[in-house]
Structure 1
Amino acid sequence: MDEKKQFAERLKTAMRNAGHEPRANVLEAQFNARYWGRSVTYQGARRWLKGLSIPEQDKLQVLAQWLGVEPQDLRYGTPATQVGEGRPPWPAVTDPADRTAIATFLGLPLDTRRTLRDLIAQLAKPARSKR
């Protein structure tokens, strides 16, 4: 089974586990009620559920938060503790808004990310000097 089909199965399972029927109209309505960007169409939601496409990272974050699962579990199907070096990618105290901001950052073009990294480094200088 290819990765898009596997994602669709995980999405359907997560929807069922969260008490939602895995139907495109349910997914469309629930997703669009939570997403701040351009809304997903019925056809787009259907493509996710049929295994024809996988949502972008920012949309995946919203889906995961709505369904109460970790984004990497929804996308890749592996628990966070089995990814990389065996440690969760986010500290337990990370605010969901911070996670969303980071996911949004990662979806930006490379040159924009560089600019923002430089800005963050400049903003962090006064905080580091007070230590």
Structure 2
Amino acid sequence: MKQDHAAFAARLREALQRAGIEARPVILEKMLARRGVVVTAQAISGWLSGRYMPRPRALQALAELTGTPPHQLQYGGIREERAAWPLPLEAADRRVIEAFLALPAERRVLVGELVAALASPPRKSR
């Protein structure tokens, strides 16, 4: 059981690093609170050190923050090779998508919201 906790802690720290998020309990406490998940810095410290596992809602929020699927964060997983880009994709589009994928999870959410707003039909003025 403790090995599972230690492995989770390593995956969490790695996912945070990939997302550009500092692995500090106080920082994570605030980020999770903004997502409606209230946990103490002590609990987060336990996750990062492998003493405890987060509850499902906190795990889901961590997954969203880091851009990592929850099951992969909790259990690890087989890394799949990236599929080749479809041929009709232009080089400029490919660069934009790759830049998007390289963004931290929080910024990807913002970009997604912007794209959704731009893609929705314009509102009719009254």
Structure with the greater alpha carbon radius of gyration: 2
Misfit runs of 4+, over 3 Å: none
CA displacement, residues 19-62 of structure 1 (integer Å, 9 cap, x when unaligned) = 011111111111111135xx101101111111110111121111
Partners of 1:54 and 1:27 in 2: CA distance? 15
Give percent identity, aligned residues only.
Answer: 35
3-state SS of the aligned residue for 1:2? helix
* 2:72 aligned partner: 73
TM-score (norm 1): 0.56
What number of residue pairs does the alignment pair up? 79
User: Distance in 2 between the 1:46 and 1:25 partners?
Assistant: 9
CA distance in 2, matches of 1:30, 1:11: 15
* Residue 80 of structure 1: how far off its partner (Å): 8.4
- Code of the residue aligned with 1:55 in structure 2: it is P
Letter in 1 for 2:19: A
> Residues 74-93 of structure 1 correspond to what in structure 2 (within 5 A)?
74-79=73-78
More relative contact order, 1 or 2 (CA 8 Å, 6+ apart): 2
Unpaired stretches in structure 1, ≥5 consecutive residues: 82-131
Unaligned runs of 5+ in 2: 81-126
d(CA) in 2 for partners of 1:68 and 1:41? 22
**Residue of structure 1 equivalent to 2:9:** 8
Question: Could you tell me how far 1:65 is from its partner in structure 2?
Answer: 1.0
Instruction: Provide the secondary structure at the position in 1 that maps to 2:5.
Output: helix
Please tell me whether the aligned partners of residues 73 and 80 of structure 1 are also in contact (alpha carbons under 8 angstroms): no
CA–CA separation in structure 1 for the residues paired with 2:78 and 2:25: 26
Q: Which residue of 2 aligns with 1:40?
A: 39
- Using structure 2 for the length normalisation, give the TM-score: 0.58
